[in-house]
Structure 1
């Protein structure tokens, strides 16, 4: 396994981020969502490097095989971890692709680190611009929705993760867009996360306002969202992104749920390849 050191925890232990690096060419960095790890990008890692791209995917702290410190799950720290990845691998002219929670890391990195090393950004089913309903964000998600998530994690995190996975992929009584094997695979990834990371990151993506971060982005941007996303509803996220991005191409995937990197993998791969290539 390959790891990148991202500082130390409060006890002086090294924090290591598990990553994979595939192919040669223009660099693309894939940032996974909550509560999975970088292996969620399996169909992108298996396809994008075939087209002259160097594709890097890493697991954020607290999840998968990365280190699991008790602290550091705010977006400033997570953006700093992303910077360490780009700096350590000395990547230039990067396309950042953030899925769900990972879209927040993209936005915060661009503002906090001035977009260093980055040529383009893509937001896929992202939590940006701001999920929580507040006085100045009246169309956001009400606080009780996030309170229920935290309560269910506290009650039985593993039962929550199994139920969450069904909504994630749009599985219902009549809708079976993915197999039971995919649900089991996703649950396995999610269950590897630490309890603290799962809880703290849920607070982070629910409560962080990325509108100021998005206003700093001056590179070409791609926004992709499914109109049947029940996890991060399109009206709270994708549909509002072009209000905040100066150069954004907005693609709506009809009938797609949150986990469209699986359900719409071929479509997503085509769109990412076209975006990186410049069309």
Structure 2
């Protein structure tokens, strides 16, 4: 296994294949680098260097008791990209990983990142508050916390139904994908997953988005039941060099 040890001693697992311009993939909650396998294989065949990590507390990375917050996730990425000496990189983030990408680029990525892609991202902020009145109410995240913290095996088995839109008319559950989602989730730390809910729901990426001048492509399905589509136009509007592509009927 390839790992680096970051400053607090936590080991971060990563995959690093190929040569050429690097593409760095950032996974969503509560998954792992394995969620990007198909995309990594595709871009590897196109001559890119492909890298994906397991966020701390997820997958094969260390299950640290602390640091399950967005700023620490991003600091871990900064250490990883420095250790691998990644330059002219393309960073692609899904869901929580989208928030991780934009904050990494804003805080640490100057001179290292060429462009980024945010897919179904939690940017600019998910939680409903006075500044985000059409956000997701806190009670929704409290229900996710309850299921994750105290009934995780069953909760993670059920969660992919809405995640992939299999509850829509005519949709067919793909059992292999469902079980692989569950496998990835159950590899991680229940404490990290529980605390990570605050990280993805309450982190405010408004200023990060405003400060990123490189090209950013925002992709979002209009039938996303996890991160509502209304996030995407807000993020694209805040970006100095952003472009939004919406996908009618697509899930998370």
TM-score by length of 1: 0.87
- 2:241 counterpart residue number: 247
Conservation of the 8 A alpha-carbon contact between 2:149 and 2:191 = no
Tell me the residue number matched to 2:2. Answer: 2
Contact 1:225–1:238 (CA<8 Å) still a contact in 2? yes
Unaligned runs of 5+ in 2: none
Match of 1:144 in 2: 139
User: Structure 1 residues 116, 109: CA separation in 2 closer, same or farther (over 3 Å shift)?
Assistant: farther
- TM-superposed deviation, 1:154: 2.9
- CA shift for structure 1 position 110: 2.1
Instruction: Please give the per-residue CA displacement for 1:36-55, whole angstroms capped at 9, x wherever unaligned.
Output: 00000011011011112111
Structure 1 range deviating more: 150-159 or 127-136: 150-159
The answer as to whether partners of 1:2 and 1:20 remain within 8 angstroms in 2 is yes
SS in 2 for 1:182: helix
**2:45 matched residue in structure 1:** 50
For the residue of structure 1 that corresponds to 2:147, the secondary structure is helix
The residue number in structure 2 matching 1:181 is: 176
- Could you state the TM-score of these two structures normalised by the residue count of structure 2? 0.96
* Cα distance per residue 1:49-69 (max 9 Å; x no partner): 111211101110001111110
Deviates most, 110-119 or 81-90: 110-119
Q: How does 1:26-175 map to 2 (within 5 A)?
A: 26-113=21-108, 115-172=110-167, 174-175=169-170
Offset, 1:178? 4.8
- Is contact 1:76-1:112 (8 Å) kept? no
For residues 36 and 73 of structure 1, what CA distance do their matches in structure 2 show? 14
Secondary structure at 2:25's aligned position in 1?
strand
Number of equivalences: 252
150-159 or 133-142, larger mean C-alpha shift: 150-159
Q: Which consecutive unaligned segments of at least 5 residues does structure 1 have? A: 9-13, 259-279
| Greater displacement, 80-89 / 164-173 | 164-173
Report if aligned partners of 1:126, 1:232 keep a CA contact under 8 Å in 2. Answer: yes
Does the Cα contact within 8 Å between 1:17 and 1:60 map onto a contact in 2?
yes
Q: Deviations over 1:176-219 (max 9, x none)?
A: 35511110111000111101110111111111111011111000
SS in 2 for 1:81: helix
